A and B are shown apart, each in its own frame.
Chain A
Amino acid sequence: MRITIPVTKTKEIARQHTLKLSENTIAKKEAANNFLTDFANVLLFIGQFIKETFSRKFEFREFIHQCFVIGNKSLPLISVTGFIMGFVLTIQTRPALVRFGAGTLLPGMVTVSLIREMGPVITALICAGKVASGMGAELGSMKVTEQIEAMEVSSTHPMRFLVVTRVMAATLMIPLLILYADALGIGGSWFGANIKGDVSLVLFFSQAFSHVGFIDLIPAVIKSFFFGAVIGLVGCYKGYNAGRGTESVGKAANSAVVLASLLILIVDMIAVQITDMLAL
């Protein structure tokens, strides 16, 4: 049986299809525009940050306050994380090494893993959760309640007072927190090694550091500074550019954590490639 569709109906279907296509095109164009606008905003933000960083009026007191907030107030969380990191790594690795008769390599292996990779990345991810979300929420709520504008009309540059101090503090404090987490991780590893064995602290540390050199520490420390900068910049950017309304504060905090975590992993991937290329 042959089905016939009236011409008017065919035209209507074609018209609706064209309409749908053009709507899709407009939506795609708007999405592309939004992406480009966001990208331009990020570049503008970084540009302003660099300009204000090198301005003569550095807000030193606020910088010290932020170092205290980011560094000191993160210590309990980083202590627990660092200890557990070393402990778990040791417990998980021990059986495999013992099976191959390489039990004595355990302290060195765990220490190298902690210093080169696990310590920096996991500590940075934990800090992204705590510090970047905190900055996003704080600056976001300041934006919503007009505090940033109030600062601006007081002839104070919010970028200099709020952003530069926080980013600089994060860039300085995150590497220190990472080193602290590494130290506690090695302590946790010794504790883990003593659950199923009996290793003295001195022996453990001498075995651990016999496999570690400055060459392991340098790339890790360098990338830690980048992790700190990423956490500070993303947290501040998301908070500073939060929309209006309380909902945007939550969104700013949430997207700060997600983006900072993602960027930390990307920076780590690039850092590993560079380290490998330089045979460090």
Chain B
Amino acid sequence: MITDQAESIVADSTKKSSNEVVIEITNLCKSFGKQEVLKDLSLQLFNGENLAVLGKSGSGKSVLIKCIVGLLRSDSGTIKVFNQDVRTLKQKELDEVRQKIGFLFQSGALYDSMTVKENLEFPLKRMKRHLNQTEINKKILETLENVGLPEAIDKMPSQLSGGMLKRISLARTIVVDPLIMLYDEPTTGLDPITSDEISLLINDIQKKYKTSSIIITHDIECARTTANRLIMLQDGEVYDEGSLNKFEKSTDKIIKSFFR
């Protein structure tokens, strides 16, 4: 039932995705010392689509999205977000671009000294300065309802389960209405049922908030549920790119090892 629901959402969103490019990466290279992590990587993210980036651990998936948001500085190449090259922006301009991007960290990265409410308040107060406290409270409650956890508002992160942590982290990311979502392994460490719930939530967010997303994952079920298009990375390079159907029918040994 979950798969049917997911397929209908994905099909629906595919229709909506346009040809407008929101992220364009060209010849991106990133090394740590002598280790080359990204080698001449190029990709595009279109408006309204969910792009799943697959690849085994250490293939440079997380480094890629950290470069997009400016957490890591790439060695060469261009990263254009809404036609602005992130690599050449000044701090203030980068902050403005970051306000359009939501980043879901693999560990959730909730501030553990703050309650759920304070966690959601934190980016809101800094990015949406025009909102007053009543509007902030309303927005927080609305977002928590969207992720299905309004009752967790006064809890501390240490009181939440793994699935709840992911949902709250997602809530903190979407509370500022980002246009682009970057998910760093959103289902890692979760049981299959919770993983499916998070995958469906990603689709819900795409629908409700009209976001374009890059989903870094090696969970094929998550990719099946959420992706409009897939890219596989291998040793820091784009190994293959295409639809889910193409990947599932591929006879390539590496791709088959993922989709068996």
A interface residues with partner B (beta carbon < 8 Å): 138, 141-142, 145-147, 149-156
| Known contacts A155-B95, A155-B98; A149 and B109 CB within 8 A of each other | yes
| Cα distance A152–B98 in the bound complex, in angstroms | 9
| Cα distance A147–B96 in the bound complex, in angstroms | 20
Contact of B126 among A142, A146, A149, A154 (CB under 8 A): A154
Tell which of B48-56, B99-107, B133-141, B243-251 binds the partner: B99-107
| Cα distance A153–B99 in the bound complex, in angstroms | 8
| Known contacts A145-B112, A155-B95; A150 and B126 CB within 8 A of each other | no
Q: Is B123 an interface residue (CB 8 A)?
A: yes
Nearest-neighbour CB distance to chain A for B1, whole angstroms, equals 34
Residues 102-124 of B contacting A (Cβ, < 8 Å): 103, 105-107, 109-113, 122-123
The answer to whether B105 and A150 touch across the interface, beta carbons within 8 angstroms, is yes
Given contacts A153-B101, A154-B122, A155-B126, 18 further A-B contacts (CB under 8 A): A138-B113, A142-B111, A145-B107, A146-B106, A146-B107, A146-B109, A147-B110, A147-B111, A147-B112, A149-B66, A149-B71, A150-B110, A153-B69, A155-B95, A155-B98, A155-B123, A155-B127, A156-B126
Nearest-neighbour CB distance to chain B for A74, whole angstroms, equals 18
The answer to whether A145 and B109 touch across the interface, beta carbons within 8 angstroms, is yes
Chain A residues near B111 (CB-CB < 8 A): 142, 147, 150-151
Chain A residues near B126 (CB-CB < 8 A): 154-156
Chain A residues near B98 (CB-CB < 8 A): 153-155
Nearest-neighbour CB distance to chain B for A156, whole angstroms, equals 5
B interface residues with partner A (beta carbon < 8 Å): 66, 69, 71, 95-96, 98-99, 101, 103, 105-107, 109-113, 122-123, 126-127, 176
Contact of A153 among B103, B106, B107, B110 (CB under 8 A): B103
Instruction: Specify the chain B residue showing the minimal Cβ separation from A61.
Output: B125
24 contacts between A and B (CB under 8 A): A138-B113, A141-B112, A142-B111, A145-B107, A145-B112, A146-B106, A146-B109, A147-B109, A147-B112, A149-B105, A149-B109, A150-B111, A151-B111, A152-B71, A153-B69, A153-B98, A153-B103, A154-B123, A154-B126, A154-B176, A155-B99, A156-B122, A156-B123, A156-B126
Instruction: Specify the chain A residue showing the minimal Cβ separation from B102.
Output: A153
Question: What secondary structure prevails in chain B residues at the interface with A?
Answer: loop
Nearest-neighbour CB distance to chain A for B258, whole angstroms, equals 26
Instruction: Specify the chain B residue showing the minimal Cβ separation from A65.
Output: B113
| Cα distance A153–B111 in the bound complex, in angstroms | 13
Chain B residues near A155 (CB-CB < 8 A): 95-96, 98-99, 123, 126-127
| Cα distance A149–B111 in the bound complex, in angstroms | 11
Chain A residues near B103 (CB-CB < 8 A): 150, 153
Nearest-neighbour CB distance to chain B for A275, whole angstroms, equals 40
The answer to whether A153 and B71 touch across the interface, beta carbons within 8 angstroms, is yes
| Cα distance A151–B176 in the bound complex, in angstroms | 14
| Cα distance A61–B211 in the bound complex, in angstroms | 33
| Cα distance A154–B101 in the bound complex, in angstroms | 9
Chain A residues near B127 (CB-CB < 8 A): 154-155
Nearest-neighbour CB distance to chain A for B23, whole angstroms, equals 15
Chain A residues near B176 (CB-CB < 8 A): 154
| Cα distance A141–B122 in the bound complex, in angstroms | 19
Chain A residues near B112 (CB-CB < 8 A): 141, 145, 147
Chain B residues near A153 (CB-CB < 8 A): 69, 71, 98, 101, 103
Chain A residues near B66 (CB-CB < 8 A): 149
8 nearest CB pairs, A to B: A150-B109, A154-B123, A146-B109, A155-B95, A153-B103, A146-B105, A147-B109, A155-B98
Chain B residues near A154 (CB-CB < 8 A): 98, 122-123, 126-127, 176
Nearest-neighbour CB distance to chain A for B138, whole angstroms, equals 20
Nearest-neighbour CB distance to chain A for B232, whole angstroms, equals 25
| Cα distance A157–B106 in the bound complex, in angstroms | 21
Chain B residues near A141 (CB-CB < 8 A): 112
Nearest-neighbour CB distance to chain A for B31, whole angstroms, equals 17
Chain A residues near B122 (CB-CB < 8 A): 151, 154, 156
Instruction: Specify the chain A residue showing the minimal Cβ separation from B126.
Output: A156
Nearest-neighbour CB distance to chain B for A55, whole angstroms, equals 11
| Cα distance A154–B106 in the bound complex, in angstroms | 16
| Cα distance A35–B101 in the bound complex, in angstroms | 38
Nearest-neighbour CB distance to chain A for B84, whole angstroms, equals 15
Nearest-neighbour CB distance to chain A for B171, whole angstroms, equals 13
| Cα distance A155–B112 in the bound complex, in angstroms | 19
| Cα distance A154–B99 in the bound complex, in angstroms | 7
Chain B residues near A138 (CB-CB < 8 A): 113
